Amino acid sequence: MSHPLFILILMALATAAGDVRYEQLVDLESRIASVMGVLNATSAELVSLVAEVLGTDVWHGMGIRSPEHWLTWQCGLSSARAASLVATARGLGALPRCRERFEAGALSEDQARVIARHTDAAHDAEVSDLAPLCTVSQLRHALRTIPVAEPKPEPEPAGPRREVSFGYGEDGWFWSRIRLRPEEGAVFETALCRAREAEFALRHPDAASDPRRPTPNDLSWADGLLRMAEASLSNLDPGAGRPGERFCVYVHVDADAPYSSYLHLGPPLSERVAQYVACDASIRIVLEANGKVVALSQRQDTVDTKTRKLVEDRDGGCCIPGCGQRRWLHVHHILHRSTGGRTVLENLCCLCPFHHRMHHRGDFTITGDPTTPGGLAFSAPDGRDLGPGRPRPPNEAPAEAAARLGIAEGRYLHPLGERADWHWL
C-alpha cells in the first residue's frame, strides 16, 4: 500500500503540471485569437477590394475572361478561391451589418462566405448577431432555411424548320440559319446540348466544388455548336489526325499581291486573321496569277504531331498567366512564319483558342523564350507588362503590417462550440 504522503506529493505534482498546461493553452488561444482577428480583418479588406473591382469593372483587360480569372492572375489564387472571393464580395454588398462584423475581425472568411451565400438583406441584423457564436457547419445549418431568389431561366431557343443556309456577312462574320422538322430538330438539339455540356466539362473540370455553381447554361449555344463541329470533323475521319483536329484550310494567295489572301469561297483575310488561320492548322496554299491557279501545295501541318506533343507536355496548358485551360490547345508561332519564324520548340507555345484569337487580334503581344522557366513576356499594346501579380511580404509582425496598411487589428472570439438547440434559434 502506498504511503499517504507519497500520494499527496503525486497529486500536487499533477496539479502543478496541469496548471502549466492550462496556462500554455490560455496563452496559445490568446495568440491565435489575435492572429485570427488580424487575418479576418485583412480578409475583409481583400473582399472589399474585390467588391471595388467588381463595381468599377477595372478587371477588363487583355486576355482576361472574368473577375475570377483576374484574381487568379493578380493574387496567385486557385480558381475556386477566386470564385469564392467574388461570390462573397457580391453577397456582402447587401448585408452592411454582417460586413461590419467581418471588417471588425469577428467573422472568419469561411463564415462570411456562408453568410453571403445564404442570407438576404431582411435577415442581415439577426444573422450578424448569431454568426460569431456559430461554427461554420452550425451557421450553414442555421441559414439553410432562408429562401434565396432563384435566377430566371434563360429563354429557350427558337424552333427549327427544314432549311439550312449560311454564308459570310458584310462584316466578314459567318452566319447560319437552320430550320428542321420537329423530330430532326430534336436530334440536332440533343447533339447541341451534349456538345455544350462537353465544352462545359472541359472549361470547368472542378464545377462540383466551385462556389459559383457554374452550369452549362453559362456557355452560349455558339460554344456548343463549335464543339459539335470539331467533334464531327474528328469522328468523320478518325484516322486522319489528332482528336479535335481542325479542318484543312485552303488559302488563296495572289502572286502579284502575296499579302492579299482569302478563304476558299470565303471573305478576304486581313494579315492578322491570315496569320491566325495558318498558325496551327492543316493548310494548302492556292497560288493564283491573273485569276488562274498557278500552283497548289501539298497538305501540310504547320506543327507536326511529334512537335505538338513536346510543346503540350512542356507547357502543360495555355501559357497566358491565370488561364487554366489544358484541352483543345493551339500551338502558336511566337514569331510568325510569314515574318521568318521557324517551327521549332524555341518559337512555339500553347494557347487556348480564346487567347489565341485575342493575340492575333492585337490585344497583347508575346515575346521571349518558352523553353526557359518564366521566359515568356506578355505585354499590352501600350507596353504595360501583363505578368502575374506578386505579393509583397511584410517585414514586421502581422498586426504591425496590418496597421501600416490601415487595417484594424480586429477582435476575434471563437465560436462557443456548444451543441446548438435549433428550436430556440
For 170-234, the DSSP string reads TTS-EEEEEE--HHHHHHHHHHHHHHHHHHHHHH-TTGGG-TT---GGGS-HHHHHHHHHHHHHH
Task: Check residue 80 and give its pLDDT.
Answer: 84
Report the alpha-carbon distance of residue 367 to residue 220 in Å, rounded: 32
pLDDT beyond 90 at 115: yes
Would you say the C-alpha torsion 295, 301, 306, 308 has a positive or negative sign? Answer: positive
In this predicted structure, the answer to whether residue 425 has a pLDDT above a threshold of 80 is: no
Nearest Cα neighbor of 160 from 221, 251, 93, 212 is 221
Whether residue 86 has pLDDT greater than 90: yes
Q: How many helices (H) and strands (E) does the chain have?
A: 13, 12
Length of the chain: 425
**Residue-level pLDDT at 114:** 92
User: Which comes out higher in pLDDT, residue 95 or 162?
Assistant: 95
Q: Return the domain boundaries, the chain.
A: 4-146+393-424, 163-236, 248-301, 305-379
User: In angstroms, rounded to a whole number, what is the distance separating the alpha carbons of residues 66 and 72?
Assistant: 10
Residues of the chain with pLDDT > 90: what percent? 8
Kindly indicate the confidence band of residue 50, based on its pLDDT and cuts at 50, 70 and 90: very high
Tens digit of each residue's pLDDT (9 = 90 or more) over 388-398: 655 555 556 66
Write down the pLDDT at residue 160: 43
**Residue 310: CB partners within 8 Å, gap ≥ 6?**
345
What pTM does this model have? 0.54
In which band, very low, low, confident or very high, does the pLDDT at 235 lie, cut at 50, 70 and 90? low
Check whether 206 has a pLDDT greater than 90: no
Residues 32-59 have a mean pLDDT of 85
Quick check: 204 pLDDT over 50? Answer: yes
pLDDT: is 23 or 112 the higher one? Answer: 112
Residue 246 has pLDDT above 50, yes or no: no
* Spatial distance between the Cα atoms of 260 and 237, rounded to a whole number of angstroms: 32
Which residues on adjacent β-strands are paired with residue 263? Answer: 251
Rounded Cα gap, residues 310 and 315, in angstroms = 9
Whether the per-residue pLDDT at 400 is higher than 50: the answer is yes
- The amino acid present at 261, given as its one-letter code, is S
**pLDDT value at 356 more than 70:** yes
CB 377 within 8 A of CB 366: yes
- The pLDDT value recorded for residue 308 is 87
267 falls in which pLDDT band (50, 70, 90)? low
Give me the mean pLDDT over the 59-76 stretch.
Answer: 80
149 has pLDDT over 60: no
Q: Contact, 327 vs 358, CB < 8 A?
A: no
Are the C-beta atoms of residues 330 and 351 closer than 8 Å to each other?
yes
pLDDT of residue 300: 59
As a whole number, the mean pLDDT across the chain is: 76
Which pLDDT belongs to residue 241? 46
